[in-house]
Amino acid sequence: MASRFVAFTSLGRRALPNQWDVIALSLIFGLFVLVARGSHDMVVPLPSPDSAPISLDYAYLPYYALRTTLRMFLALGASLAFTLTYATLAAKSRRAETVLIPLLDVLQSVPILGFLSFTVTFFLNLFPGSVLGAELAAIFAIFTSQAWNMAFSFYQSLRTVPDDLAEVCEGFRLSSWQKFWQLETPFAMPSLIYNMMMSMSGGWFFVVAAEAITVGDTTIKLPGIGSYLATAIDAKDIRAVLAAVVMVLVVILLYDQLMFRPIVTWADKFKVELSASQATSKSWVLNLLARTFWVRRAAAPLEGAFEWFTSLRLDLPRLGRRRNSSPVVSRAVDVAWVVVIGLIAVYGAWHAVLFIATTLSWGDVVQTIGLTLITMLRVVVLLTLASLVWVPIAVWIGLRPAVAERVQPAAQFLAAFPANVVFPIAVVGILTFHLDPDIWLSFLIIFGTQWYIVFNVIAGASAFPNDLREAASNFRITGWSWWFKVMIPGIFPYYVTGALTASGGSWNAAIVAEYVKWGNDRVSATGIGAYIAQATEAGDFPKIVLGVGMMSIFVILYNRLLWRPLFGYAERRLRLG
């Protein structure tokens, strides 16, 4: 009888929440309340154009930060869904790859202002009279600053899965669905997570353009950090600018601790290792959740459902050429596919030419070619300098998980640091000392995009197998031999992905960096970025189309002639396994 009473008492105690449950549930419910508060204001009526909803009072900053953070996480969720579908299709299908990867090159080169110029009206008409249309336009703009590098990262990882691991899947007769969820996605997870962090930072970098939307006569300022910062710049209120920067730092620290640090720690188990790692990252959130009772019990059904979902024996249709198909038939299908895509491209280009020709001439085309060449020279020089500086530093950080934990929030903040904050210094300095804008504004281009290289190289160094490091140590490979024979080949696929996305981001950042303003003072550098920014401000759509089109052509050629061959070399010669 006594033993039954003890067992019953023990069961009753286990059914009660412990102190860790109280803390975890408080955090979870608090997040739900914040999400409900922020999402409720996304469907209110659209304010009149004459109203001034953005206040520079510091008391509004937490609410503005909530609205901006909610938009960025919604865009990040859409970017993740886009990545898992778009990049997978490009990696699995040779024919789809011939279209999707060049299209991705174009999409990452199209500036946010280019997207906003043609999507704001669409979203506003989709929900007339409601702020939801403007919210969707802002979320879509942030999405365009997040999705492309995540897709490139996932595509690169899927193409470089070690052959021996793929053979193990075939040996266990896993279906294509099981192989995707149990091998390919886990293998891609470390790099994808670092690119998700970079995407969040990239969203901060362009948040001013996303929330303070100005296209011609249409001006919309949504409540958020970006519109607050734009209002402060127009008012030349340096204290408000600094307050916005402090709030950005606080928000980054919060979501780093509550989201990214736990995910990075969780993803450590997906590293390809043949020996035990010397050090692993830690997360107080994961430790907290591991000590809970109610939260773990509540999450158990979700874990079981996900395991069932990923274990389904589904054989997806083959996206490439079937083994029993005739080479002649396959070749004919390839030719037909190229012809159809070519006709669609010619049709779209022809209509773009007709639209541009209404007000512009061949002289304008020649002008944009020269401006694009100048911007390309800036991008090449700055990427080279950034690579020489940051690759050794990123490798050193990535090989030390304890250091990476401390550096991670600082790197995210530096990557998220809005370039607009530097505009007052740049404008005042250039005007006061009569400096050359073509030189001194150039550094603003790489200000935010260099972190694509940093995050990807850190991810590559973190995923570098510990057994290979031990082998290099046993063979006493040191100095330059260690760099050129061990580490650079190991991180090269990650570096190419980072440099490719940094290149696209640099073209995009040129729109912000080549034409800056502080109140009524404006300074511009010679380049296609200033051309597009000025055309957008004036609402000159033919010039916007011409500038964006010329930039896209150059980016495609640049990527095809440089980055794609490097990526192919990394895939063929420098993959692990």
Question: Which residues are within 8 A (CB) of 569 and not within 5 positions of it... i.e. 6 or more apart?
Answer: none
Assign a CATH topology to domain 18-271+279-318+360-573: MetI-like fold (1.10.3720)
Percent residues over pLDDT 90 in the chain: 10
- Stretch 143-167: mean pLDDT: 85
Q: How many CB atoms lie within 10 A of CB 418?
A: 24
Query: Per residue in 518-575, pLDDT tens?
Result: 767 788 888 998 898 888 777 788 888 888 888 888 888 888 788 778 877 777 766 6
Of the two residues 202 and 274, the one the predictor is more confident about is: 202
Q: Confidence band (pLDDT; 50, 70, 90) for 455? A: confident
Q: How many CB atoms lie within 10 A of CB 62?
A: 12
Of the two residues 52 and 95, the one the predictor is more confident about is: 95
Extents of the domains making up the chain: 18-271+279-318+360-573, 327-359
Q: Does residue 309 have a pLDDT over 70?
A: yes
pLDDT at 391: 93
Phi, psi at 35, each rounded to 5°:
-65, -45
Of the two residues 289 and 512, the one the predictor is more confident about is: 289
d(CA 510, CA 525): 10
Q: Which ranges of 16-60 would DSSP assign to H, the alpha helix?
A: 19-40
What six digits make up the tokens of 287? 């430790």
- Classify residue 193 by burial, with Cβ atoms within 10 Å: 0-12, 13-18, 19+: buried
Q: Does residue 183 have a pLDDT over 70?
A: yes
d(CA 276, CA 280): 10
Q: Which residue has the tokens 């009660």?
A: 16
pTM: 0.76
Q: Does residue 113 have a pLDDT over 70?
A: no
pLDDT at 79: 93
Q: Which residue has the tokens 């600094």?
A: 242
Q: Does residue 116 have a pLDDT over 70?
A: no
Q: Does residue 11 have a pLDDT over 50?
A: no
Highest mean pLDDT among 42-56, 218-232, 321-335: 218-232
pLDDT at 441: 80
Q: Does residue 418 have a pLDDT over 70?
A: no
- Stretch 141-160: mean pLDDT: 86
Percent residues over pLDDT 70 in the chain: 84
Q: Does residue 472 have a pLDDT over 60?
A: yes
Q: Does residue 320 have a pLDDT over 60?
A: no
pLDDT at 306: 83
Mean pLDDT of the chain: 80
What six digits make up the tokens of 63? 């609410």
Q: How many CB atoms lie within 10 A of CB 528?
A: 28
Return the C-alpha torsion angle 308, 311, 313, 317, nearest 10.
110
d(CA 71, CA 140): 9
Question: Which residues are within 8 A (CB) of 474 and not within 5 positions of it... i.e. 6 or more apart?
Answer: none
pLDDT at 70: 92
Q: Does residue 381 have a pLDDT over 80?
A: yes
d(CA 201, CA 208): 13
Q: How many CB atoms lie within 10 A of CB 28?
A: 12
Query: Per residue in 42-90, pLDDT tens?
Result: 777 766 554 557 888 888 999 999 999 999 999 999 999 999 999 999 8
Q: Confidence band (pLDDT; 50, 70, 90) for 4? A: low
Q: Does residue 119 have a pLDDT over 80?
A: no
- Classify residue 160 by burial, with Cβ atoms within 10 Å: 0-12, 13-18, 19+: buried
What six digits make up the tokens of 36? 């409900």
- Classify residue 111 by burial, with Cβ atoms within 10 Å: 0-12, 13-18, 19+: buried
d(CA 108, CA 106): 6
d(CA 514, CA 506): 11
d(CA 37, CA 503): 38
pLDDT at 415: 66
d(CA 565, CA 577): 20
Q: Confidence band (pLDDT; 50, 70, 90) for 216? A: low
Q: Which ranges of 180-255 would DSSP assign to H, the alpha helix?
A: 185-205, 207-211, 225-234, 238-255
**Of 378, 379, 356, nearest to 550 (Cα)?**
356
Q: Confidence band (pLDDT; 50, 70, 90) for 104? A: confident
- Stretch 389-398: mean pLDDT: 91
| Pairing of the two strands 515-518 and 521-524 | antiparallel
Q: Which amino acid is at 482?
A: W
Question: Which residues are within 8 A (CB) of 462 and not within 5 positions of it... i.e. 6 or more apart?
Answer: 190, 194, 271, 398, 399, 401, 404
List the beta bridge partners of residue 522.
Answer: 517
d(CA 403, CA 487): 18
Cβ atoms of 212 and 134 within 8 Å: the answer is: no
Query: Per residue in 244-282, pLDDT tens?
Result: 888 888 888 888 888 888 887 887 777 665 555 555 567
Q: Does residue 95 have a pLDDT over 80?
A: no
Q: Confidence band (pLDDT; 50, 70, 90) for 356? A: confident
pLDDT at 8: 44
The two most distant CA atoms of the chain are separated, in Å, by: 98
**Of 198, 190, 102, 202, nearest to 154 (Cα)?**
190
